[in-house]
Amino acid sequence: MKVPTALTFLAAACVFAAFAVLQANGFSLLGVKPNMVLAAIAVSAFFIENIWLYLLLVGIAGFILKFAPGFHPEFLLLYAIGALAHLLGKYLPWHALIGSLLIIIFGTLLFYSAFGAHLIMSAVFMKEIVLTMAVGVIIFALFLNLWDNTK
């Protein structure tokens, strides 16, 4: 993809913020809360080439999710997944949508491994992966439209 202009970066920041606010306020489908910020991180890794702008978006989303003083290990894992997603976004040989979905699966698995390993074999885990992937497809369509309209 190409480097975002100020307008596309602002729009991407709004997308990140909107999904972070939804997630922070407990949005759920079918009793499961999809990790919408993880979906935005995975998808934007294929659209935003500048690592610093990308990590700024991850930080904004993390700040909205964990607006509290003190260190939160979830925030560190979110940044690690973001950095890894950005790196993988440059080298995965598949279409960006397929790469995004794989990063969503991997990121969800990492979060559950770190903070809820006993739930990995549950239906909640599978529902969350499917719903987060669906959100990822929606964000991918938004970003694809946003970037295509700036050419």
Tell which wins on pLDDT, 120 or 147. Answer: 120
pLDDT at 111: 83
Q: Using 50, 70 and 90 to split pLDDT, how confident is the model at 4?
A: low
Structural domains in the chain plus CATH codes: 6-148 (1.10.1760)
Alpha-carbon distance 19 to 82, whole Å? 16
pLDDT tens digits for range 73-93 = 888 888 888 889 999 888 888
Render the chain in DSSP notation, one character per residue: -----HHHHHHHHHHHHHHHHHHHTT--BTTB---HHHHHHHHHTTT---HHHHHHHHHHHHHHHT-SSS--HHHHHHHHHHHHHHHHHHH--S-HHHHHHHHHHHHHHHHHHHH-GGGTTSHHHHHHHHHHHHHHHHHHHHHHHHHHTT-
Average pLDDT of the residues in 63-67: 79
Q: Tokens 């950095």 sit at which residue? A: 83
* 35: CB partners within 8 A, 6+ apart: 23, 104, 107, 108, 111, 128, 132
Q: Please, what is the average pLDDT of the chain? A: 84
Tell me the whole-structure pTM to 2 decimals: 0.85
